[in-house]
Structures are given as structure tokens and as C-alpha cells.
Structure 1
Amino acid sequence: MAATPLSTSAWRTRARQLLSPDFVTPAVMLIPSLALISLVIAFPVAKGLWFSLTDGSLLRPGHFVGLENYIDLLGDKNFWNAVRFSTIFAICNIIGCYGLGLGLALLMQQDMPCRGLFRVLLLMPWIVPSLVAIVSWRWMVADEKALFNQIIALFGGSPVYFLSDSTWAVVVVIAIKIWRSFPFMMLSLLAALQTIDRSLYEAAEIDGATPWQAFCHVTMPAIRNISIVLCLLMTIWTVNDFDTPWLLAQGGPAGATENLVVLAYRETFARNDLGMGAAVSFVTLLVLMALFTFVLRLQKED
């Protein structure tokens, strides 16, 4: 019976804390932001979740079917093909962008003639609108009369049908995605490299460290956190990339370059199955959330 006054006292203390200006003032100031977030994020997400639980289309609302769309999705080979390509697409793009971006960032940090001009030129793939860039690449690889095949013919080679062969189509989509994405990685890593204290390199040189040892033990630890954030951002952008696989090959040939976003688009607009398209989108969201939670938890433990 002695616990009741203590519980009442703790409750009153908690109530006073919640009603204090230190809590009420920030809460009131957050209300507009929370209302805006609810309007532009929470409501569309909730509506999309509802669509994924129905058998509706773009022309009719449909009926509640529970998890039927998700069950059908797990048994759909097109879904697993999209998961496989999305995984390969993301891993290759992250490795390619990070390697190329870090290498160029290290190069652009050195004293060299026309360094500013080179920085501007290297940003061009990121600045050019995706539609213009991808259509230009498609013109260069589309058929036997394309620019690349004309160059191959000059050396006596046979035409390569880049967008008609599954393997070559995957390679081309990944290569163009890396070409479009590495400038952001390069610029961000260059900014991170410029924040490293130069005295650390001087101390490493005095201790007899080689340039490679200085890179491994000074540079990489210093940019580790920003590298994790950049790779996570690149994962989001790659998994959600619709422009590159669609504008190049419409997810083909035979679904070889169809990622989860293209599959969701095809289910929704080509097959007029809104429920299945929404289910694909939510599975993608859950996978990305799980990945982020795992990586950020590892980073926090370190």
C-alpha cells in the first residue's frame, strides 16, 4: 500500500515536467513541422500501405485482401529477379562510385595545373539532366550503327548489341549509373579530405609511415563516418533509381535490368494492379529500413 503515494508523486512530477515551459515551448514550435511531415509523408505512406492490402486498380478502389499481395509477391519470379538485379545494381554502383570518387578526390586535392577546371568538368555528369544524359548514352550503344559499334568496326570487330543481350545490358546500366553518380561521391569525399588536420600526416611521416600506411591509418579513419553516410545515401538512390534502367532498356531484355522500382511501375501502370505495385514499394521500403537500422547500429557500437 506504500507504493501508491510514490506512484502518485512520480506522476505529478512527470506532469509538471510536461507542462513546464522547457517542454511546452519546443513542443508548440514543432507542431507546424509535424503537421507538414504528416501531410506530405505520413498520409501518403499510410495510403500506400492501404493500397497494398487491397486488390484495387487505377480505375477502381478494390477490396481488402490482407497480405494476399505480399504472399503472391514472394512466389513471383519477376520479383526475385528484380531483387537480384537491385542488389547487384546497388553493390556495383556503391563500389564503383566510392572507388572512383575517392581516387579522383585524392587527385583533386593535390596541387596541379587547371585543378578548378578539372573539378568543374568532373561534375558535368551529375549536373546534366538525367533524361539528356541517358538518352545520349542510348544513342551511343543502341544498335549496330551506334557510336560504340562504329568505333568497334574501325578496329575490325563485330557489332555488339549492348541493349539486346542480358549481360551487356546489365553492364551498360551499371556503368552509366556509376558515370552519373560518382561526381557527388567525389565532391563529398573531397570536402571530407580537406577537413583532415595536416599535422596528422606530418606526424605519420616523422614516424616513418609510407604514403599507403598514412592513407590506411590517417585518411580512411578520418573519413569513415562520412563514407558510411554516403554509401547509405547511394544505396537509397540506386535502389530507387527509375531513370537509368527504364530509359535505357525499359527493364529489359527479358527483365534483366528490371529493378524493384521498375517492377512497381510495371505492376501499377502496365498491368493495372495497384495493390501489387504498392506491395513491391513497401517491401523495398522495409528492406532499406532494415539495412539502415543494421548499419547505423553497427556504427553506434563502434
Structure 2
Amino acid sequence: MENSKTKRKVDLLPIYYLLPSLLLIVLINFYPFLSGLFYSLSDGSLVKQGSFVGLANYVRLFGMPDFGHSLVFSAIFAFFSVIGSYVIGLGLAVLLNKDFPGRGFFRVALLVPWIVPSIVSIISWRWMLGAQEGLVNTFLVWLGLEPVLFLANEKWAIFTVCLIKIWRSFPFMMVSCLAGLQSIDSALYESAAIDGAGRWKSFVYITLPQLKSISIVCWILMTIWSFNDFDTIWLLTQGGPANATENLIILAYKYTFTKNDVGTGSAMAIIALIILMMLATLFLKNQNKEQDV
């Protein structure tokens, strides 16, 4: 009897250690989620709780033109941010994986866009691009070209916010890919060289497959961060001009805090969560299938 009691106490010990952390996770993650879910099912405002309306807010979303536009822009913004940052990050990682003078300096210098606080970097970009008298337009005029309205023209604004997001994100991809490259066995490249494979074939048939697992994780994380990006777009354009760069998160913010419609804003946030969970599940399922083959 004594042994069984002692065993039972030992089995419960890890739970006691984990309990404070589990409670903290519940408070930080699950409580806000459940609150948002409840608000999305009601017609309340910031000052009034409102009454339960079921799925009425969700049904109303699909008849709103600004919701459809923000959903499309969110997808475009995330797609180009992920592709652009991955291509640049992988290319730089391949270069930095080689031995050359000053490699340590470049490894640190290329992390600057990721390290600098977002408000500092984005305000600096806005100062350079945001007006005809900005640094970039001043240089264009000096070259005899017409100034470009980077943040006032709809097409240029979309291009600009995507470009700056890529600039801010490529260091994460670079560091992740560099870590993956350093874990690849050099014997694979030596065997490929003996078989007559050149650099390009070695890259396609060895490097890319070996980086696939870490690449999928990076794509998932970057898709989530880009889809939910608030500060980059808000500090640059606030969703303008003419709502051209308004993603789903900014639209939800405007409905919640500007239009005082907490139910609709929360419903938009829940829709964004569902979309991202579906994408992450598809990525991970595909990865698991290929690992099982």
C-alpha cells in the first residue's frame, strides 16, 4: 500500500510543476480566443455587451464588398511576402554558407531589417517614400525622372507594402535556411560531384529536398505573420489609398475601434484564424505524407 501511494504522488509531481505554466497559457491564449468567439456571436459594441445573434455576423460578412477585397489583398500580400522573402533568404543563405572574407560581418549586417524595431524601420521607409520630396523621389528627380507616388497610388502602394514586408522578413528565412544548410552532410555533395553533378543539379536534388522540412515550417510561420501583419501596413498606409492595402486584420480593427462594431470585427478575426489553421493543416499533412513515403 505504501509503495502504491508513493508511486501515485510521484506521478502527480510533473503535473504540479506544469500547472502554473498551463494556467498562464490558458489565460493568455484561450481566454482571449473564447472572448473573441463570444463577441463574434453578438451585436455588442465597445461600451455595450449586446445580445446573442448566432451566426448573423458571419453571414453578413460575405455580402460586404470591403470584406471580400480585404480577404483577396490579405492572400496576395501573404503570398508575395512568403515567396519573396524565401527566395531572397535562401539565396543569401547559400552565399553565406560559403567561406569568404567578411562573412561574419555580412551575417550580422543582413539581420538588421529583422532586428530593428518595426516602428523605426517602417517610419524610415515612409520618410523615404511617402512624399514627392522624399529621399527616393529626390533621387529620381535628380536623374531626370518623374517622382513616383509610392504610397498615394493604389498599384504602387500595394507593391510598396509587399516590398517592405519582404525586406523586413528575409532575414528570418535566411537564418532558418542557413541553419538547415549547415546540417546537410557534405558527403552528399562529394558523392554528387563524383557522379558528375554540377552545382545546379546538386542544389536541386540535394539542397532543396534536404531543406524541405524547415522550409515548410518557415512558410507556415511567414504566412501567419504576413496574413496577420498589422504594423507594416498601418504605419505605411493605414489601409489606403482607397482601401487598396487594407488587409483583413486592419479591416477588423477599423470595424471594432472606429465603427464600434465589435461583433463584425471579431467575426473577421475568427475567419482569419480559421483560414490560417486550414493552411497550416494542409502544409503539415503534406509534409507528414511525404515523410511516410
2:244 — aligned with what? Answer: 256
1:78 — aligned with what? Answer: 66
1:211 — aligned with what? Answer: 199
Shift of 1:35: 2.1
Give the Cα–Cα distance (whole angstroms) in 2 for the partners of residues 157 and 146 of structure 1: 14
Shift of 1:28: 4.8
Aligned partner of residue 50 in structure 2, secondary structure = coil
Shift of 1:78: 0.6
TM-score normalised over the length of structure 2: 0.94
Pair 1:87-2:70 in alignment: no
Which residue identity is paired with 1:289?
M
Write the deviation string for residues 23-58 of structure 1: whole angstroms up to 9, x where unpaired: 655555443333222221111111110001111111
Shift of 1:133: 0.4
Give the Cα–Cα distance (whole angstroms) in 2 for the partners of residues 273 and 111 of structure 1: 57
Which residue identity is paired with 1:35?
L
Give the Cα–Cα distance (whole angstroms) in 2 for the partners of residues 259 and 21 of structure 1: 52
Which residue identity is paired with 2:275?
V
2:47 counterpart (59, 80, 91): 59
Give the Cα–Cα distance (whole angstroms) in 1 for the partners of residues 117 and 27 of structure 2: 29
Aligned Cα RMSD in Å? 1.6
| Ranges in structure 2 where 5+ consecutive residues have no aligned partner | none
Pair 1:129-2:114 in alignment: no
Aligned partner of residue 253 in structure 1, secondary structure = coil
Aligned positions of 1:9-158 closer than 5 A: 24=12, 26-158=14-146
Give the Cα–Cα distance (whole angstroms) in 2 for the partners of residues 213 and 286 of structure 1: 39
Give the Cα–Cα distance (whole angstroms) in 1 for the partners of residues 117 and 41 of structure 2: 36
Pair 1:189-2:177 in alignment: yes
Structure with the greater alpha carbon radius of gyration: 1
Pair 1:162-2:161 in alignment: no
Shift of 1:239: 0.7
Pair 1:281-2:269 in alignment: yes
Give the Cα–Cα distance (whole angstroms) in 1 for the partners of residues 177 and 117 of structure 2: 23
Aligned partner of residue 209 in structure 1, secondary structure = coil
Which residue identity is paired with 2:190?
E
Q: Matched residues, percent identical?
A: 52
Give the Cα–Cα distance (whole angstroms) in 2 for the partners of residues 45 and 280 of structure 1: 13
Q: Which stretch of the first structure deviates more once superposed, 36-45 or 191-200?
A: 36-45
Runs of 4+ in 1 over 6 A off after TM superposition: 19-23
Pair 1:232-2:193 in alignment: no
Aligned partner of residue 38 in structure 1, secondary structure = helix
Which residue identity is paired with 1:181?
S
Give the Cα–Cα distance (whole angstroms) in 1 for the partners of residues 229 and 259 of structure 2: 20
Give the Cα–Cα distance (whole angstroms) in 1 for the partners of residues 71 and 270 of structure 2: 13
Which residue identity is paired with 1:279?
A
Give the Cα–Cα distance (whole angstroms) in 2 for the partners of residues 207 and 164 of structure 1: 55
TM-score normalised over the length of structure 1: 0.91
2:256 counterpart (251, 257, 268): 268
